[in-house]
Structure 1
Amino acid sequence: MDYEISPVSVDQIETGDHTYKITTTADETGLALSIGAIGLLQPPILLKKGCGHVVVGGFRRIAACAALNMSAIPARILRSDASPLTCARIAISDNSWQRPLNIVEQSRAYALVRRCAEGSSDGQEIIASAGLPSSHTAMDRIMPVADMPASMQNALLEGSIALPVALQLIQLNEDDAGALCSLFRTLTTGLNVQRELVDLISEISLRDDIPIVRLMAQDDIAAITGNENMPAPQKVGELRGLLKTRRYPELSEAEALYHRNLKSLRLDPRIQLQPPRFFEGNTYRLSLRIDSRQQLKSLQPELDKIVRHPALLPE
């Protein structure tokens, strides 16, 4: 890296230009305390641009210095002819050598390289040297995160939305994606349940020709999602049940009837009768928990209840 160290007025640093910004961390309190105590050990990296300077590396350091009311700071000034790809390499390395990059930072790194490399094979080498997955598959999967709304990026960083679900949401319009993003940030649930909820909500929205954002605001759904006194697991369970009923009314009715009939038999808890999935087909699963032949014999009257019920099983 070809540079010279020179003092620069903080006012001349264009911190609003995020061309080379990788970091997502905004809190510079701890860094300001460190700089205030021992000084700026690693000067930020800048590129001369007109009468000012573009930040290539060191956004947090500059913010910390500004918080300390420092009017000028030492900086590493790159040669004015430094190429965008060179600056991209420096920006990514300046961050990746300090810590593992989170998924938003990775996406910014990929997007930056793709913008600056313009088909050059050097882009792959820069990514690999930073310790990031360098396959086209990984890059194509993660890069869309860079263009996601800040709320969705924050949800990814929090772990409240899984990446595959976030990639689904950005296919929706902004309002609908925002409504689902807000939903998942209030719930604690995993990838499979998130996918199920997105599918159910999207299918109901399409069938009823109603935007997702309006669907989520309907009284029966809002009564669940907006209930601050309801624990998150209960919220998820009730929301799934409601959406399944809305999406598959016939299936829900059949399921409810089956469970009413089964409950009416008051079977011994050692007997379990499972219907076919989605009530498609006629194969039921009957399981018994027994310790002896005598126990099996004692359950015979219970099995007879199942056989005699006129509506529980198909003929």
Structure 2
Amino acid sequence: MRFEEKRVQIDRIDPSDDTYRITTESGIDRLIDSIQTVGLINFPILIRRDQGFTIISGFRRIAACRALDWTNIDVRIVDPRSPLLEAANLAISENVFQRTLNLIEQSRVVRLLSTFYDSDHILAKKAAHFGLPDSPSFTKKIKQICLLPQPIQSGVLSNAISFAMALELRTLAEETGAIFANLFVRLKLSLNKQREIVMHAKEISRREDISILKVLEEGGIEKILNSEDLDLREQTQRIRSYLEQRRFPTVVARKKKVENFVNSLKLGKDTKLIPSKYFEDPTFTLKLHFKDSEGLKRHRATLEKVIQNFSVETVGG
């Protein structure tokens, strides 16, 4: 690709045109220090557009020079006869061969390439040239990630939200997805707990014919998150309990009744009275821990206590 090195007015460079932006890094403090010390060594790459220029490579370098109040800047301008695909490949190469790309940057690569290739199979092949998986399914999914609301993208960048969860949040209304994203980032939840919360909220929404947003609002989620009296673990438990209670009111009521009953027996650490999974039926498992016959004999009183107090009504059957 041919370039023309030239000094241009920095105001003619459009900082808002992100057509070729791949990097998610925005910090410029270290660049400012470097440029102040040794000058601008690696010139940004631009392409002419209308009366100004679009950035292909060097977004942060140009931002640093603006911060230093430069009025002119040395750049390399792509030959106007060059195909736009070559400009796209250049923008990608300037990033992908310097470091490992994060998910958002990978998404931007695929999104940029997708403007030139309609077929997911061809797109996957072209993306593979830059180290991305040669998978049409992957490219089809990941190109959506960079279009998600900013809270979700921020969660992905901080590793608080996985690729799988980001795709699930993409199916929700924008405001709803953003609320979930902020919730997951704030509480530092595992993927399993994230899925549980989303699933419960969806099921409640479907059953009660209300929006997911209303489900979250009625649960006072924001109030819980802003409570200074609750730590992250307690906030998480409050939110999960609210959704579980609303999703399975009968099961939760039975669970509480069973727990109260078991606690009232004061069985001790060597005896476990275990209800059925999800409390779906009145079947219990009784576990006794002992080392010898004397230990087993000591369980007689415990067994009598369970027999005398146990009834289907007592445990909420």
Asked whether the equivalents of residues 219 and 239 of structure 2 are also in contact (C-alpha less than 8 Å), the reply is no
Pairwise CA distance, 1:74: 1.9
Q: Which moved more, 1:115-124 or 1:26-35?
A: 115-124
Asked whether the equivalents of residues 45 and 76 of structure 1 are also in contact (C-alpha less than 8 Å), the reply is yes
User: Residue in 2 aligned with 1:285?
Assistant: 285
1:40-84 per-residue CA deviation (whole Å, 9 max, x = no partner) reads: 121111112232221111111111111112222222211112222
User: Residue in 2 aligned with 1:65?
Assistant: 65
CA distance in 2, matches of 1:139, 1:294: 66
Pairwise CA distance, 1:179: 2.5
Instruction: Letter of the 1:210 partner, please give it.
Output: I
Q: Residues 192 and 54 from structure 1, CA distance in 2 versus in 1: closer, same or farther, beyond 3 angstroms?
A: same
User: Residue in 2 aligned with 1:10?
Assistant: 10
Any idea what SS the aligned residue of 1:116 has? coil
CA distance in 2, matches of 1:195, 1:314: 29
User: Residue in 1 aligned with 2:311?
Assistant: 310
CA distance in 1, matches of 2:89, 2:168: 31
Q: Give me the TM-score of the superposition, normalised by structure 2.
A: 0.90
Identical aligned pairs, as a percentage?
32
User: Residue in 2 aligned with 1:236?
Assistant: 236
Work out the number of aligned pairs and report it.
315
1:114-169 per-residue CA deviation (whole Å, 9 max, x = no partner) reads: 11234497744542232222312222232211110122211211223233222222
CA distance in 2, matches of 1:216, 1:314: 29
Pairwise CA distance, 1:182: 2.7
CA distance in 2, matches of 1:219, 1:86: 52
Counting only pairs closer than 5 Å after superposition, residues 259-278 of structure 1 correspond to structure 2 as 259-278=259-278
Asked whether the equivalents of residues 179 and 212 of structure 1 are also in contact (C-alpha less than 8 Å), the reply is no
Any idea what SS the aligned residue of 2:114 has? helix
User: Residue in 2 aligned with 1:169?
Assistant: 169
Pairwise CA distance, 1:219: 6.0
Instruction: Letter of the 2:311 partner, please give it.
Output: P
Unaligned runs of 5+ in 2: none
Q: Residues 122 and 138 from structure 1, CA distance in 2 versus in 1: closer, same or farther, beyond 3 angstroms?
A: closer
Pairwise CA distance, 1:232: 0.8
1:167-205 per-residue CA deviation (whole Å, 9 max, x = no partner) reads: 222212223223222322321211000010011112222
Instruction: Letter of the 2:160 partner, please give it.
Output: S
Counting only pairs closer than 5 Å after superposition, residues 1-315 of structure 1 correspond to structure 2 as 1-119=1-119, 123-218=123-218, 220-281=220-281, 283-308=283-308, 309-311=310-312
Give the superposed CA RMSD. 2.3
CA distance in 1, matches of 2:170, 2:116: 25
Pairwise CA distance, 1:254: 0.9
Q: Residues 293 and 93 from structure 1, CA distance in 2 versus in 1: closer, same or farther, beyond 3 angstroms?
A: farther
Instruction: Letter of the 2:68 partner, please give it.
Output: L
Q: Residues 201 and 119 from structure 1, CA distance in 2 versus in 1: closer, same or farther, beyond 3 angstroms?
A: closer
CA distance in 2, matches of 1:81, 1:181: 44
Any idea what SS the aligned residue of 1:8 has? strand
Any idea what SS the aligned residue of 2:113 has? helix
Instruction: Letter of the 2:307 partner, please give it.
Output: V
Pairwise CA distance, 1:295: 1.6
Asked whether the equivalents of residues 273 and 284 of structure 1 are also in contact (C-alpha less than 8 Å), the reply is yes
Asked whether the equivalents of residues 20 and 112 of structure 2 are also in contact (C-alpha less than 8 Å), the reply is yes
Q: Residues 285 and 86 from structure 1, CA distance in 2 versus in 1: closer, same or farther, beyond 3 angstroms?
A: farther
